């Protein structure tokens, strides 16, 4: 259906003489909020200890990406709703954009980068779930795939031969804006076949 004309208008210009005083530019969501309350924390990420001085309430995602240069987890909504930022914490999928970094201290954090070692893959080999997503060509823009892969790893570690209902339930809170859902479901089935004894 053609949208009403009012929906096709450009957003009003920001600032300038015709629209009044310029509005303040919002802070980039992944900037550290402040350095004056930094605390030393030791994180176990992908099997390596990291001692960092960070604001303890900073989102775990921010520390992973900005301080540890681990860009597998993505910033999507920043609200715990899309799943792009998923990591494993003690083997459980966790939305790192809404988890304060202090909560991760003393726990094992695994990001996308740590999956080959988690699967004891040799050489340049990937985790079987990563390989299955490539084989199934389950990416269009690829932005959601970190969350899809992490959720699938967690699912298959609990249920190596999941039913379709279990697969859909495990991925139901991960959003894909490109609509590659059928390829993603195919990738999960391929991953289960690769992992099956």
- Is residue 77 involved in binding ligand FES (CB under 6 A)? yes
- Is residue 97 involved in binding ligand FES (CB under 6 A)? yes
CB of 91 to ligand FES, least distance (A): 19
Figure out which of the listed residues 45, 109, 115, 144 binds ligand FES, where binding follows CB under 6 A.
144
- Is residue 154 involved in binding ligand FES (CB under 6 A)? no
- Pick the closer one to ligand FES by CB: 107 or 121: 107
Mark the segment that binds ligand FES (CB under 6 A) among 36-44, 70-78, 109-117, 126-134.
Answer: 70-78
- Which are the contacts of 158, defined by CB distance < 8 A and separation ≥ 6? none
| DSSP 8-state symbol, 7 | G
Figure out which of the listed residues 177, 182, 193, 196 binds ligand FES, where binding follows CB under 6 A.
177
- Our measurement of the distance from residue 45's CA atom to the centroid of its chain's CA atoms, rounded to an integer in Å, reads 15
- Is residue 143 involved in binding ligand FES (CB under 6 A)? yes
Mark the segment that binds ligand FES (CB under 6 A) among 39-47, 80-88, 126-134, 188-196.
Answer: 80-88
What's the alpha-carbon Rg for the chain, to the nearest Å?
A: 20
Question: Strands (DSSP E) along the chain, which ranges?
Answer: 39-45, 48-54, 86-89, 92-95, 108-110
**Which among 119, 130, 122, 109 has a CA at the least distance from the CA of 46?**
109
Q: Is residue 156 within a helix (H) or strand (E), and if so which, with residue range?
A: helix 145-158
Residues that bind ligand FES (CB under 6 A): 75-78, 80-85, 95, 97, 139-144, 176-178, 180
């Amino acid at each position: 259906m053609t949208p009403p004309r009012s929906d096709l208008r450009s957003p009003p210009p920001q600032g300038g003489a015709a629209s009044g005083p310029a509005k303040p530019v919002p802070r980039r969501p992944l900037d550290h909020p402040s350095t004056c309350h930094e605390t030393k924390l030791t994180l176990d990420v992908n099997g390596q200890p990291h001692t960092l001085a960070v604001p303890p309430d900073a989102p775990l995602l921010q520390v992973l990406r900005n301080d540890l240069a681990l860009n597998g987890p993505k910033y999507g909504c920043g609200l715990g709703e899309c799943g792009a930022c998923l990591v494993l914490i003690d083997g459980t999928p966790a939305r790192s954009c809404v988890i304060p970094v202090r909560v991760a201290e003393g726990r094992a954090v695994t990001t996308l980068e740590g999956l080959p070692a988690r699967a004891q893959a040799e050489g340049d080999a990937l985790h079987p779930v990563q390989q299955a997503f490539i084989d199934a060509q389950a990416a269009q823009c690829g932005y959601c795939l970190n969350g899809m892969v992490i959720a699938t790893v967690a699912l298959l570690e609990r249920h190596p031969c999941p039913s379709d209902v279990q697969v859909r339930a495990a991925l139901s809170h991960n959003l894909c804006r490109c609509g590659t859902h059928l390829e993603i479901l195919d990738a999960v089935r391929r991953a289960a076949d690769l992992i099956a004894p």
